[in-house]
Amino acid sequence: MPEGPSIVMLRDAAEVFACRRVLSVAGNSSQDIARLQGKVLREVRSWGKHFLLGFGGFAVRIHFGLFGSWRIDEESHRPPRLRLEFTRGRSLAFYACSVRFIDHPLDEVYDWSVDVMSPEWDAKAARARLRRQPAALVADALLDQSLFAGVGNIIKNEVLHRIRVHPESRIGALPPRKLAQLVEQAREYSFDFLRWKQAFVLRKHWQVHAKTHCPRDGARLCYRKHLGKAQRRAFWCATCQKIYR
C-alpha cells in the first residue's frame, strides 16, 4: 500500500497536468468517469494516502489500497481503473484502485492538520487526540488515519524502533516525552522516507521493517504477522524497544 510520501511524489509528478483539459477518458471504474470528458484539471492535491484531482466544483479521489498503482505517460498490460488523456499526448492512469467523486469543496471534506506531510500539520492537536485514546496500542494509533494521515506500516515499524517503543505499548502509559517523540517522528520519518524514496535508497535505510536483526544491539527481531486491531505486520526489538503498560 503506498504510504503518504509516495502519494506526495505522485502529486508532485502530476502537477504537470494542472490547467490541462481532459481529451479522453477510459477505464473500468463503476463510477461515472465520463463526466471528466472535456473538463480542465484545476488542481492536484494529496491528503494522507488519498490522491486528489480537483476539476472545479468537484474532485476525484484515488485510493490505492494494497495493490493499486499509477502510470504517467506509460502503458500497462493491466486494464486501467481510470485513464485520462490530456493535451500534448500526455496521460495519467490508475490501476487496481478505488475511484470516488467528491462533490463538496476539499477544504470542507479534509482536515489538513492531520496529514503528517502537510504544511498545516498540527503536532499539538495530534498529542491532544492521542491523550483521548489512552487504551489504544501505539501501533494502532500510528496507523489511524484520523490521527496520522499518510502513516503506513513501514513508517509505523520504523518510527517505533527509532523512539525505542514496543508496538504493544498503550498510549496512556507513555511518558509525556515519549508521546511527544511519537508525534514528532511520525512526521520527521515521513519526510526521511520521501527523501530516501526519491533517491531510490529507501530499503537501504530500513532498520527493522522486513529485517531479522536489530542494527542497534544485534538482537534477533520479533515478528508478528497480525498485530493490534489493524492486524498489520510488526517488526520490533524486544531488547531496546520498551513496552509501556
**Per-residue pLDDT at 11 exceeds 80:** yes
Contact 25, 84 (CB under 8 A): yes
For the chain, the distance separating the N- and C-terminal CA atoms, rounded to the nearest angstrom, is 30
Confidence of residue 170 (pLDDT cuts 50, 70, 90): very high
CA dihedral of 157, 160, 165, 166, whole degrees rounded to 10? -10
Coil, helix or strand for 236? strand
Residue 61, phi then psi, degrees to nearest 5? -105, 125
The residue whose grid cell reads 492486524 is 231
Instruction: Give this prediction's pTM.
Output: 0.94
Beta strand segments in the chain, E: 22-26, 43-47, 50-54, 59-63, 69-72, 82-86, 91-95, 98-102, 222-227, 232-236
Q: Quick one: how far is CA 34 from the chain centroid?
A: 28
| CA dist list (Å): 114 to 49, 180, 188 | 12, 15, 14
* CA–CA gap between residue 117 and residue 89 (Å, rounded): 31
Over its C-alpha atoms, the chain yields an Rg (Å, rounded) of 20
The residue whose grid cell reads 503498560 is 245
- What is the mean predicted confidence (pLDDT) over 139-155? 98
Partners of 62 in the beta sheet?
A: 51, 99
- What is the mean predicted confidence (pLDDT) over 188-213? 98
* CA–CA gap between residue 214 and residue 177 (Å, rounded): 23
Confidence of residue 76 (pLDDT cuts 50, 70, 90): confident
**Per-residue pLDDT at 29 exceeds 80:** yes
